[in-house]
Structure 1
Amino acid sequence: MRNLKRALAALFVLLLAAVVLFFVLENQQTVTLVLFGWSAPAVPVAVLVLAALVIGLAVGPLLGAYGLMRGKSKIRASARQAALTGK
């Protein structure tokens, strides 16, 4: 069973790598990103899209963790307030 899981995981990784490679090869047109007057050097579209994906994959969990910690602190504060009022 473990070998089957490893084989499926390897197949998934190879398939994902093939899709990314196909995407990169199909999007070789160069573009220049202009943001608030700042102009980035011309790079292929695939580089910008993959960079946005990686940044989103990094920022998303960080924001989720921040929200989770903030929610926990609100629960603790509420519990502390309830203990002080005796409810």
Structure 2
Amino acid sequence: MRNFKKLLLVLIVLAVVAVALLFVLENQQGVALVFLGWAGPQLPVSVLVLGALLVGLAVGPVLGAIVVARRPRLKVSKAA
């Protein structure tokens, strides 16, 4: 069963890498982002989208941890 789980994980990772590679190869047209008057360098669309994805993957768990840490703890009363 462990070997099956490892094989499944490897296949899922390979599929994600393949999809990301195809996305990068299909989105090579350059764009320049302008935000609040600041113009960024011209980069391929895929670089910007994958960068946004990575930032979201990093920020999401941090915000989740902050929410869990700020949540008031429930006191469990012992039944008599």
Counterpart position of 1:42? 42
Counterpart position of 1:85? none
Stretches of structure 1 that go unaligned for 5 or more consecutive residues are 80-87
Q: Which runs of 4+ in 1 moved over 6 A?
A: none
For the residues of structure 2 that align with 1:8 and 1:70, how far apart are their CA atoms? 36
Counterpart position of 1:71? 71
Q: Deviations over 1:36-61 (max 9, x none)?
A: 00011000000000011111111111
Structure ID, larger Rg: 1
Alignment size in residue pairs: 75
Counterpart position of 2:14? 14
Q: TM-score, normalized by length of structure 2?
A: 0.85
RMSD, aligned α-carbons: 1.5
For the residues of structure 2 that align with 1:3 and 1:65, how far apart are their CA atoms? 32
Q: TM-score, normalized by length of structure 1?
A: 0.79
Counterpart position of 2:60? 60
For the residues of structure 2 that align with 1:49 and 1:62, how far apart are their CA atoms? 20
Stretches of structure 2 that go unaligned for 5 or more consecutive residues are 76-80
